[in-house]
């Protein structure tokens, strides 16, 4: 059995992405969807780190920097998104995305 | 330039009526806004039309007085650039051929305008359905635009300009017949319009052909063709068009000649293209018939002389016999058809066809007398036929029909009218002392030398002409008075104002046609010299 | 200079320019204009005397100027008797120059004198005859205008002015024949006169054109006109303004319309024009004969010769003074005048002269035979006029120009007298002109009777009146004529002419006896033997109805007229009491008679009429001795008129006659007298006092022949059936073709255009527009379908995005 390589990280990242994706697509609760989005973002972060480690020029920190940006943005995003969810709740009295279909018109 | 600008008179004459029409437009707005009443607006329109055509008549008189008959070249020339890309110019001028027609147009238009006025006392027969009472602004505007078109055709010396005026003239005529006409006005108007348009399409093709096969000149550093008729005529006389390449295996000059000729023949109208005329005349209101017969028919002959004769002399010579034959057919055929008519106006329309045949016959002989007579015939027919149509108008306004056999014995009820009718009829049948005779005599004298048989056949028509006019007089005027018309009023002042001037001119030119022939002779001599 | 040349060549006539000739015609013109424009108002305001004062005054002034002209001419030397008055050039076109100018030479002077004087007399007569006419002003307007036109005709110095007059008199004739136009029969007669005359005018004008061109060029065998530069003015096709060539004797050569210039070119032999004209042919005919015959066609129209005479008898529908002035004395002689005027042309062409003379004699005989059996007194005189005009044409045809013109002059007097006499009779008998209803008038109208008798002597040819001198001169010249196509023609003409003269004498005295002797038959009784014993008495009634209508122009008119006939009569009588006849046939008399309800005896006419009759009768008697005393009877010189006319008739010297000596001439004059006496005797036996029953018995023996002659050989009917109906049918056919064939083609083109447009429309709607609309529909429908994808559910979008991404991956994987 060889040491843990890039494919293993990618598999974990893909699994994480897939789980996040499924959460986003299937959950009807807006907060749930938000959680799914966090999973997807972290899957991306995992990939950044992995590629930085295995593929990029040694000594480069580009992957880590990106990850940190993503984490920061995710925090900001979560804050804004939760605010939006609150606004939706105030408008529709629900946070079920099936019922908030105003775009349809 | 060859013909420097010497006068703006012709431009004034041409566009003065258009200016009048332009004045009528704001009036329409005022009327629509309620600032002026309908009655006041109508009266203002009438005054505008009368003033404009009266001024044109005055200018025409000035033109005649200052024209120099000893000079056969163009006079009163005005030149200006118009569309330099194709070397199209605004180029107007008159020579002996056109001056008589310009004067005739001014005169006949003025008479027709008077005839459109419901003003003079004694018009009790005019009811609200009379054409002088409805759509007055439009009518007057159309009349004025028509006048601009007509004068424009006669003064244009640029072929493109000529064509533009030719078409400008069509449209008001179409509306005048189609809106203010009689029972079958739509049919007549459309027939007139399409027929003439079909002719002018051929004409346009020929004009374009002439342009591209024509002379070139240096302008702004490049070689361009020209629409200048004088230069085209010089080119044509020198054989320029005769040397043009074949078209579909035919000589270009012949093709162009035939195309132009058909375009003009529709207007003359020449057998077999004449059937629009009776319909148009019968349906048109009286003043429009007057203009149609007095001026529009002259354009065909004028165009043939101005373009076919001057520019394509070789082909003209080639086609002379055909023209003579068609002229003879026109004369005799239409005279016989007149004999069969029951409708007075239709009879007179056919008699116009017959009389225009004289022009074709006379000008096809290429003799001085023949061509002088032909152009004089334009003038004399231009005096006589308006009078005839006015005469018809008088009786139609009173009886509301024109069936010759529906009258009878009117001479004792309306003696003044009978006298005027007699004058007009006898003038038309060529009684010496009235101007119709002079042109007939001169035409026949000139054509006999070239076409003996055709001239003799044509001269036989004088008998038929006498027969149908006298028979009409007999059926309408003589015999016992038809009791239905026992209270018919005699001519009123409006009708007197139109009929007496024409009658007087008919007599004056019967004894002194020299006044006209002297104007035209020099130019016509130059025109037929290359044809002999 | 001019005089020198004139003395060199007798044939060249030189004009003396005067400035006052225009005064002669202008007075009648002014009179006519005054009556035309103001006549009705004047008549209403001041009465009829103003109208006739204007008209008669104008005539008197005109007479006065004519007399001054005559006097000036009389005192001038014969070669100076050419007055010309150029007013203005009417028009000029190439070599054609038409002047309004008047010219008087002895011939024209004679005609002018006849026209002005006879016309003045007839104007005076009309003041009496037309006194009851409501449209008095119109009558005098036309009458004055007629005199003006007639003066243009005789005084015109060129063909065109002559033609102005020529048609002008035709117009006035039209206006006067149809003077009582409310009667359609009369109106039709007027129309017929004008239209038939137009046939003649057509010949005149074509002859003129051929003459005009022949003077400057030649006609080749292919009828091509070759302008000949060698001779004549060499005006190429009348275009070149080159100066005219002048011959050695000072004659201008080339095409001209002036009579005097033409005469000088043709009769001055040094110009060579006569020889050239003789040698020319056109369509294989000698040009000269063609020209002259065409001119004669014109003359035959105006002067009522075969075959164009038909209008003259119908023209009697006009008032009787009109018949006297226009249809006897002046207008109808215009043709004779023209042939005499152009004597220099006719003399060059024996065939043309023969045509003229033979037509003349045939007409004389033909018309005389119709005159035998007419009952209408004016019809008798009408046919007699036609016949006498034939005599005149014999004269000018055989080359005895002066004799023809002389007969013209004597005829003007005696025929005017006869017509006016008949007018007097008609007025006396309350507008009755059927001779069977007259009779015995010598008791009631003595002056009319004597003047009528004097005129009968004149026309029949008794030496104590004028007709003898002119008619026998004509027949004598015909016998001796040597200038015709064949030598036997002259004597043949003499024989036929003598028979015609016999007939003339017979029917004139017949009319005299029927009218003036016996008992007056106008009281409504039916003593009239001829009528009672007439086998056609009943037939004639219906037939004559047709006979009146048939000649009167067109078919449609007839129908109107025929249905209207009875009506018209009543109407015309009530409307205008002066109407002097009731249609032209005897059959109408009965009811006309009744309608009139005429009472009382016949009465002599007013003095204005009888004085005129007396003057004319006097002239009819003495004109013969004064102007035509034969050279054979002593006196030592030619007849006065022959000498007077000599300067106008240059050709008279060239026409050849056989010399037969005075003895033969006396013999022929005796023949003439014998013929006249025989006719008189026959008429006296048969018709004196209405005693004899022979006429009726003769009629019974030959009913068919009688009715053919009585109905004028059915010539009118023949014309009606051929020319009139033919043209009407042709005109209808042509109109039908015009409406259905030519206009049909036009409308057909329109129809084809519309059909093509319809097909176009279908194609357009189905295919072209279909494609466009299809695309639009497709977009629309797909949009509608796609709209369903828009759920608004963010998750379904994400599903889609995911699906798309997966699909991309799979596709990339598969394709690679």
What is the per-residue pLDDT across B367-400, written as a single tens digit (0 to 9) for each? Answer: 889 999 999 999 999 999 999 999 999 998 888 8
Can you tell me the distance from the alpha carbon of B487 to that of B479, in angstroms, rounded to the nearest whole number?
17
Q: Cα-Cα-Cα-Cα dihedral of C120, C123, C125, C127, to 10°?
A: -140
**Set of chain C residues whose Cβ sits within 8 Å of the Cβ of A97:** 793-795
**What mean pLDDT comes out for the span B484-495?**
86
**Set of chain B residues whose Cβ sits within 8 Å of the Cβ of C92:** 514, 517-518, 521
Cis ω for the linkage preceding B48 (within 30 of 0): no
Residue of C nearest to A103 (CA): C792
Contact call for B and A: 3+ CB–CB distances under 8 Å: no
Nearest chain C CA: its distance from A37 CA (Å): 12
Say whether B82 sits in a helix, a strand or coil: strand
Asked whether residue B421 carries a pLDDT value surpassing 50, the answer given is yes
Does B409 contact chain C (CB < 8 Å)?
A: yes
Cβ-based burial of C6 (10 A; exposed 0-12, middle 13-18, buried ≥19): middle
Asked whether residue B435 carries a pLDDT value surpassing 70, the answer given is yes
| C195/B463 CB distance under 8 A | yes
Average per-residue pLDDT for chain C = 81
> What CATH number should be reported for the domain holding residue A54?
1.10.287.3510
Cis ω for the linkage preceding B272 (within 30 of 0): yes
Strand C281-282, strand C285-286: pairing: antiparallel
Say whether B87 sits in a helix, a strand or coil: coil
**Domain residue limits, chain C:** 2-533+603-689, 715-789
| C237/B195 CB distance under 8 A | no
pLDDT at C118: 93
Say whether C552 sits in a helix, a strand or coil: coil
Nearest chain C CA: its distance from A34 CA (Å): 12
Into how many domains does chain A fold?
1
pLDDT at C529: 41
Can you tell me the distance from the alpha carbon of C485 to that of C487, in angstroms, rounded to the nearest whole number?
7
Contact C601, C396 (CB under 8 A): no
Nearest chain C CA: its distance from B55 CA (Å): 30
**What mean pLDDT comes out for the span C52-59?**
92
Of C210, C568, C734, the CB nearest to B448: C210
Does C792 contact chain A (CB < 8 Å)?
A: yes
Can you tell me the distance from the alpha carbon of B353 to that of B158, in angstroms, rounded to the nearest whole number?
29
Instruction: Please choose, from the candidates C137, C188, C431, the residue with its C-alpha nearest in 3D space to the C-alpha of residue B479.
Output: C188
Bridge partners (DSSP) of residue B413 are none
Cβ-based burial of C765 (10 A; exposed 0-12, middle 13-18, buried ≥19): exposed
Contact call for C and B: 3+ CB–CB distances under 8 Å: yes
pLDDT at B86: 86
Of the pLDDT bands very low, low, confident and very high (cuts 50, 70, 90), residue B121 is low
Give me the domain span that covers residue A32: 6-96
φ, ψ dihedrals at C34, nearest 5°: -60, -45
Angle at C703 between CA C702 and CA C706, to 5 degrees: 85
Residue A17 lies in a domain: yes
pLDDT tens figures, C104-146:
999 999 999 999 999 999 999 999 888 888 888 999 999 999 9
Asked whether residue C555 carries a pLDDT value surpassing 70, the answer given is no
φ, ψ dihedrals at C89, nearest 5°: -85, 120
Tokens of B183: 């029972």
Asked whether residue C580 carries a pLDDT value surpassing 50, the answer given is no
Contact C480, C491 (CB under 8 A): no
Nearest chain A CA: its distance from C781 CA (Å): 18
Residue A1 lies in a domain: no
Contact call for A and C: 3+ CB–CB distances under 8 Å: yes
Strand C225-227, strand C217-219: pairing: antiparallel
How large is the C-alpha radius of gyration of chain C?
37
Can you tell me the distance from the alpha carbon of C775 to that of B46, in angstroms, rounded to the nearest whole number?
55
Q: What percent of chain B has pLDDT over 70?
A: 98
| C195/B466 CB distance under 8 A | yes
pLDDT tens figures, C284-294:
888 899 999 99
Tokens of B466: 């006498």
Phi-psi region of B34 (alpha: psi -120 to 50; beta: other; left: phi over 0): left
Of A25, A98, A103, the CB nearest to C798: A25
Residue of A nearest to C796 (CA): A25
Asked whether residue B346 carries a pLDDT value surpassing 80, the answer given is yes
Can you tell me the distance from the alpha carbon of C618 to that of C610, in angstroms, rounded to the nearest whole number?
12
Can you tell me the distance from the alpha carbon of B434 to that of B470, in angstroms, rounded to the nearest whole number?
16
Asked whether residue C243 carries a pLDDT value surpassing 80, the answer given is no
**Set of chain C residues whose Cβ sits within 8 Å of the Cβ of B512:** 88, 90-91
Can you tell me the distance from the alpha carbon of C205 to that of B475, in angstroms, rounded to the nearest whole number?
29
Contact C568, C208 (CB under 8 A): no
Chain B residues 462-521 with CB within 8 Å of chain C:
462-464, 466-467, 470-471, 473-475, 477-481, 511-514, 517-518, 521
Can you tell me the distance from the alpha carbon of B382 to that of B374, in angstroms, rounded to the nearest whole number?
12
Q: What is each CA distance from C783 to B249, C138, C489, C778, C807, in whole angstroms?
A: 59, 93, 112, 8, 24
Say whether C183 sits in a helix, a strand or coil: coil
Asked whether residue B125 carries a pLDDT value surpassing 70, the answer given is no
Rounded to the nearest 10 degrees, the angle between the axes of helix C350-371 and helix C489-516 is 30
DSSP string, C310-372: THHHHGGGS-HHHHHIIIIISGGGHHHHHHHHTHHHHTT-HHHHHHHHHHHHHHHHHHHHHHT
Contact C336, C389 (CB under 8 A): yes
Residue of A nearest to C788 (CA): A104
Residue of C nearest to A97 (CA): C793
Asked whether residue C544 carries a pLDDT value surpassing 80, the answer given is no
Asked whether residue C163 carries a pLDDT value surpassing 50, the answer given is yes
**Set of chain B residues whose Cβ sits within 8 Å of the Cβ of C178:** 478
Contact C441, C602 (CB under 8 A): yes
φ, ψ dihedrals at C13, nearest 5°: -100, 135
Task: Report which secondary-structure segment, H or E, holds C270.
Answer: none
pLDDT at B122: 62
Strand C16-17, strand C83-93: pairing: parallel
Residue A84 lies in a domain: yes
Asked whether residue B284 carries a pLDDT value surpassing 80, the answer given is yes
Say whether B223 sits in a helix, a strand or coil: strand
Instruction: Please choose, from the candidates C446, C176, C434, C457, the residue with its C-alpha nearest in 3D space to the C-alpha of residue C328.
Output: C176
Of the pLDDT bands very low, low, confident and very high (cuts 50, 70, 90), residue C485 is confident
**Set of chain C residues whose Cβ sits within 8 Å of the Cβ of A34:** none
Can you tell me the distance from the alpha carbon of B484 to that of C220, in angstroms, rounded to the nearest whole number?
62
| A25/C794 CB distance under 8 A | no
Q: What percent of chain C has pLDDT over 70?
A: 85
Distance of CA C164 to the CA centre of its chain: 13
Higher pLDDT, B496 or C518: B496
Can you tell me the distance from the alpha carbon of C390 to that of C382, in angstroms, rounded to the nearest whole number?
13
pLDDT at C465: 87
Asked whether residue B335 carries a pLDDT value surpassing 60, the answer given is yes
**What mean pLDDT comes out for the span B406-420?**
90
Residue of C nearest to B409 (CA): C182
Residue A105 lies in a domain: no
Asked whether residue C593 carries a pLDDT value surpassing 80, the answer given is no
Task: Report which secondary-structure segment, H or E, holds C508.
Answer: helix C489-516
Does C790 contact chain A (CB < 8 Å)?
A: yes
Asked whether residue C590 carries a pLDDT value surpassing 60, the answer given is no
Residue of C nearest to A101 (CA): C792
φ, ψ dihedrals at C16, nearest 5°: -105, 120
Contact B87, B227 (CB under 8 A): yes
Higher pLDDT, C528 or B280: B280
pLDDT at B35: 78
Higher pLDDT, C541 or B70: B70
pLDDT tens figures, B311-323:
999 899 999 999 9
pLDDT at C633: 79
**What mean pLDDT comes out for the span B267-293?**
90
| C171/B426 CB distance under 8 A | yes
| C792/A101 CB distance under 8 A | yes
Tokens of C236: 């190429």
Nearest chain A CA: its distance from C750 CA (Å): 57
| C790/A104 CB distance under 8 A | yes
**Set of chain A residues whose Cβ sits within 8 Å of the Cβ of C799:** 25
Task: Report which secondary-structure segment, H or E, holds C275.
Answer: helix C273-279
User: Poorest-confidence range of B91-100, C526-535, C684-693?
Assistant: C526-535
Cβ-based burial of B259 (10 A; exposed 0-12, middle 13-18, buried ≥19): buried
Q: What is each CA distance from C501 to B388, C357, C388, C411, C771, in whole angstroms?
A: 50, 15, 9, 14, 99
Bridge partners (DSSP) of residue B81 are B89
Of A26, A97, A105, the CB nearest to C794: A97
Of C790, C792, C799, the CB nearest to A25: C799
User: Poorest-confidence range of B284-293, C100-109, C419-428, C707-716?
Assistant: C707-716
Q: How many CB atoms lie within 10 A of CB C779?
A: 10
pLDDT at B124: 60
pLDDT tens figures, B79-108:
888 888 888 989 999 998 899 999 999 999
Can you tell me the distance from the alpha carbon of C53 to that of C72, in angstroms, rounded to the nearest whole number?
28
pLDDT at B26: 85
Q: What is each CA distance from C206 to B327, B433, B452, B464, C293, in whole angstroms?
A: 18, 19, 9, 16, 10
Cβ-based burial of C229 (10 A; exposed 0-12, middle 13-18, buried ≥19): middle
**What mean pLDDT comes out for the span B116-133?**
71
Does B144 contact chain C (CB < 8 Å)?
A: no
Does B442 contact chain C (CB < 8 Å)?
A: yes
pLDDT tens figures, C303-317:
989 888 889 988 888
Q: Choose from A24, A34, A81, A99 for mutation: most chain C CBs within 10 A.
A: A24
pLDDT tens figures, C77-92:
888 889 999 999 998 8
Contact C247, C253 (CB under 8 A): yes
User: Poorest-confidence range of B112-126, C241-255, C540-554?
Assistant: C540-554
- Chain A neighbours, 3+ Cβ pairs < 8 A: C
pLDDT at C658: 83
| B528/C239 CB distance under 8 A | yes
Bridge partners (DSSP) of residue A29 are A96
Does C795 contact chain A (CB < 8 Å)?
A: yes
Distance of CA C756 to the CA centre of its chain: 58
Say whether C5 sits in a helix, a strand or coil: helix
Residue of C nearest to A28 (CA): C795
φ, ψ dihedrals at B243, nearest 5°: -90, 5
**Set of chain B residues whose Cβ sits within 8 Å of the Cβ of C96:** 368-369, 442, 445
pLDDT tens figures, C596-614:
344 567 778 888 888 889 9
How large is the C-alpha radius of gyration of chain B?
23
Q: What is the full per-residue pLDDT of chain A (105 aa) written as tens digits? A: 467 888 889 999 999 999 998 888 888 888 888 889 899 999 999 999 888 888 878 888 888 899 999 999 999 988 999 998 888 888 888 888 777 777 665
User: Poorest-confidence range of B19-23, C410-414, C721-725?
Assistant: C721-725
Give me the helices (H) in C80-215, please: 106-129, 136-155, 159-177, 184-214
Of C96, C732, C735, the CB nearest to B369: C96
| ipTM (interface predicted TM) | 0.92
Strand B222-225, strand C16-17: pairing: unpaired
Can you tell me the distance from the alpha carbon of B517 to that of C199, in angstroms, rounded to the nearest whole number?
29
Q: How many CB atoms lie within 10 A of CB A18?
A: 13
pLDDT tens figures, B453-472:
999 999 988 999 999 999 99
Residue of B nearest to C200 (CA): B463
Q: What is each CA distance from C688 to A28, C534, C683, C706, in whole angstroms?
A: 149, 19, 7, 21
């Amino acid at each position: 059995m060889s040491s843990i390589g890039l494919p293993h990280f990618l598999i974990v990242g893909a699994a994480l992405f897939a789980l996040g994706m499924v959460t986003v697509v299937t959950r009807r609760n807006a907060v749930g969807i938000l959680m799914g989005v966090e999973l997807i973002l972290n899957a991306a972060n995992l990939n950044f780190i992995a590629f930085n480690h295995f593929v990029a020029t040694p000594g480069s920190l580009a992957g880590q920097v990106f990850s940190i940006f993503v984490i920061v943005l995710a925090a900001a995003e979560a804050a804004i998104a939760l605010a939006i969810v609150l606004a939706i709740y105030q408008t529709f009295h629900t946070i079920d995305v099936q019922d908030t279909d105003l775009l349809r018109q | 330039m060859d013909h420097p600008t010497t006068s703006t008179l012709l431009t004034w004459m041409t566009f003065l009526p258009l200016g009048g029409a332009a004045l009528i437009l704001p009036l329409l707005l005022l009327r629509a806004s309620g600032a002026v009443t309908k009655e006041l607006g109508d009266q203002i329109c009438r005054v505008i039309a009368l003033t404009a055509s009266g001024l044109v008549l005055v200018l025409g008189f000035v033109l005649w007085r200052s024209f120099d008959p000893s000079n056969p070249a163009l006079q009163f020339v005005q030149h200006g650039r118009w569309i330099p890309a194709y070397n199209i110019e605004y180029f107007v001028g008159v020579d002996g051929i056109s001056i008589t027609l310009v004067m005739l147009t001014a005169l006949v238009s003025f008479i027709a305008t008077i005839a459109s006025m419901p003003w003079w006392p004694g018009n009790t027969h005019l009811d609200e359905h009379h054409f002088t009472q409805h759509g007055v602004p439009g009518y007057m505007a159309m009349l004025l635009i028509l006048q601009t078109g007509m004068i424009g055709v006669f003064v244009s010396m640029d072929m493109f300009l000529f064509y533009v005026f030719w078409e400008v003239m069509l449209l008001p005529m179409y509306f005048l017949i189609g809106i203010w006409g009689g029972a079958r006005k739509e049919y007549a108007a459309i027939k007139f319009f399409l027929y003439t348009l079909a002719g002018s399409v051929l004409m346009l093709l020929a004009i374009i052909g002439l342009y591209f096969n024509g002379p070139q000149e240096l302008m702004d550093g490049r070689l361009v063709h020209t629409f200048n008729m004088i230069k085209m005529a010089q080119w044509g006389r020198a054989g320029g068009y005769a040397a043009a390449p074949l078209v579909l295996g035919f000589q270009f000059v012949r093709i162009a000649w035939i195309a132009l000729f058909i375009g003009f023949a529709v207007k003359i109208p020449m057998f077999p293209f004449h059937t629009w005329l009776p319909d148009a005349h019968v349906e048109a209101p009286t003043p429009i018939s007057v203009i149609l017969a007095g001026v529009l028919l002259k354009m065909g002959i004028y165009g043939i002389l101005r373009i076919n004769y001057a520019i394509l002399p070789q082909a003209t010579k080639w086609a002379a016999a055909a023209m003579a034959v068609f002229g003879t057919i026109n004369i005799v055929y239409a005279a016989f058809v007149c004999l069969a008519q029951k409708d007075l106006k239709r009879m007179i329309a056919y008699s116009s066809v017959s009389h225009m045949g004289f022009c074709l016959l006379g000008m096809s002989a290429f003799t001085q007398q023949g061509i002088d007579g032909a152009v004089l015939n334009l003038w004399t027919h231009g005096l006589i036929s308006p009078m005839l149509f006015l005469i018809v108008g008088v009786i139609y306004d009173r009886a509301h029909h024109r069936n010759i056999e529906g009258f009878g014995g009117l001479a004792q009820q309306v003696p003044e009218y009978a006298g005027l009718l007699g004058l007009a009829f006898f003038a038309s049948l060529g009684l010496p002392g009235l101007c119709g005779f002079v042109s007939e005599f001169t035409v026949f004298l000139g054509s006999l030398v070239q076409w003996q048989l055709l001239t003799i056949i044509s001269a036989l028509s004088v008998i038929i002409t006498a027969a149908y006019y006298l028979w009409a007089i007999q059926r309408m005027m003589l015999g016992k008075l038809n009791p239905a018309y026992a209270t018919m009023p005699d001519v009123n002042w409006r009708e007197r104002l139109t009929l007496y001037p024409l009658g007087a001119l008919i007599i004056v030119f019967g004894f002194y046609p020299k006044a006209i022939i002297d104007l035209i002779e020099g130019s016509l001599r130059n025109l037929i010299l290359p044809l002999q | 200079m001019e005089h020198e040349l004139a003395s060199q060549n007798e044939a060249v006539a030189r004009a003396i320019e005067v400035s006052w000739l225009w005064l002669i015609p202008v007075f009648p013109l002014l009179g006519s204009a005054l009556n035309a424009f103001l006549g009705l108002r004047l008549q209403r305001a001041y009465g009829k005397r103003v109208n006739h004062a204007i008209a008669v005054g104008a005539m008197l002034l005109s007479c006065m100027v004519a007399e001054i002209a005559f006097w000036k001419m009389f005192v001038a030397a014969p070669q100076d008797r050419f007055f010309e008055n150029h007013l203005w050039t009417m028009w000029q076109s190439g070599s054609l120059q038409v002047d309004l100018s008047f010219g008087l030479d002895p011939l024209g002077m004679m005609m002018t004198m006849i026209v002005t004087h006879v016309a003045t007399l007839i104007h005076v007569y009309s003041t009496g005859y037309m006194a009851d006419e409501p449209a008095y002003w119109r009558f005098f307007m036309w009458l004055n205008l007629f005199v003006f036109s007639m003066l243009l005709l005789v005084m015109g110095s060129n063909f065109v002015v002559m033609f102005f007059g020529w048609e002008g008199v035709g117009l006035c004739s039209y206006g006067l024949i149809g003077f009582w136009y409310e009667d359609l029969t009369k109106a039709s007669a007027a129309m017929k006169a004008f239209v038939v005359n137009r046939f003649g005018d057509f010949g005149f004008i074509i002859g003129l054109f051929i003459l005009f061109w022949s003077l400057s060029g030649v006609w080749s065998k292919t009828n091509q006109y070759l302008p000949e530069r060698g001779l004549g003015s060499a005006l190429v096709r009348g275009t070149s303004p080159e100066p005219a060539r002048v011959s050695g004797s000072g004659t201008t050569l080339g095409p001209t319309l002036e009579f005097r210039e033409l005469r000088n070119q043709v009769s001055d032999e040094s110009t060579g024009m006569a020889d050239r004209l003789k040698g020319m042919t056109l369509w294989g005919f000698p040009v000269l004969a063609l020209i002259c015959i065409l001119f004669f066609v014109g003359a035959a129209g105006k002067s009522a010769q075969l075959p164009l005479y038909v209008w003259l008898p119908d023209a009697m529908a006009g008032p009787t003074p009109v018949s006297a002035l226009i249809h006897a004395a002046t207008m109808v002689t215009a043709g004779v005048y023209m042939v005499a005027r152009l004597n220099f042309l006719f003399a060059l062409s024996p065939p043309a002269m023969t045509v003229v003379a033979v037509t003349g004699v045939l007409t004389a005989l033909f018309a005389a035979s119709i005159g035998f059996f007419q009952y209408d007194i004016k019809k008798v005189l009408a046919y007699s006029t036609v016949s006498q005009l034939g005599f005149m044409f014999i004269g000018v045809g055989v080359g005895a120009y002066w004799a023809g013109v002389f007969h013209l002059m004597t005829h003007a007097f005696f025929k005017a007298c006869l017509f006016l006499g008949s007018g007097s009779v008609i007025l006396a008998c309350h507008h009755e002109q059927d001779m069977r209803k007259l009779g015995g008038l010598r008791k009631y109208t003595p002056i009319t009777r004597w003047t009528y008798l004097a005129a009968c002597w004149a026309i029949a040819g008794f030496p104590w009146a004028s007709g003898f001198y002119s008619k026998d001169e004509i027949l004598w010249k015909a016998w001796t004529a040597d200038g015709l196509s064949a030598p036997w023609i002259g004597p043949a003409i003499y024989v036929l002419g003598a028979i015609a003269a016999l007939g003339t004498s017979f029917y004139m005295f017949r009319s005299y006896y029927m009218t003036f002797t016996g008992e007056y038959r106008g009281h409504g009784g039916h003593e009239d033997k001829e009528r009672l014993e007439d086998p056609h008495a009943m037939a004639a009634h219906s037939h004559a109805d047709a006979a009146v209508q048939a000649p009167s122009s067109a078919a449609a008119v007839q129908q109107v007229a025929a249905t209207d006939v009875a009506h018209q009569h009543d109407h015309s009588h009530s409307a205008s009491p002066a109407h002097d006849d009731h249609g032209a046939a005897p059959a109408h008399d009965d009811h006309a008679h009744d309608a009139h309800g005429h009472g009382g005896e016949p009465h002599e006419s007013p003095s204005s009429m009888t004085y005129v009759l007396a003057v004319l009768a006097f002239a009819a008697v003495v004109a013969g001795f004064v102007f035509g005393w034969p050279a054979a009877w002593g006196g030592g010189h030619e007849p006065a008129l022959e000498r007077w006319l000599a300067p106008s008739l240059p050709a008279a010297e060239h026409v050849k006659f056989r010399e037969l000596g005075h003895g033969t001439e006396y013999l022929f004059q005796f023949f003439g007298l014998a013929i006249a006496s025989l006719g008189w005797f026959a008429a006296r036996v048969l018709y004196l006092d209405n005693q004899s029953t022979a006429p009726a018995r003769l009629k019974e023996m030959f009913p068919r022949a009688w009715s053919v002659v009585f109905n004028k050989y059915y010539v009118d009917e023949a014309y009606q059936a051929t020319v009139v109906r033919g043209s009407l049918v042709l005109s209808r056919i042509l109109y039908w073709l015009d409406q259905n064939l030519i206009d049909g083609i036009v409308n057909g083109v329109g129809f084809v255009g519309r059909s093509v447009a319809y097909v176009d429309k279908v194609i357009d709607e189905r295919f072209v527009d279909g494609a466009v609309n299809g695309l639009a529909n497709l977009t629309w429908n797909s949009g509608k379908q796609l709209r369903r994808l828009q759920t608004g559910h963010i998750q379904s979008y994400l599903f889609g995005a995911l699906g798309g991404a997966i699909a991309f991956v799979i596709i990339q994987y598969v394709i690679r």
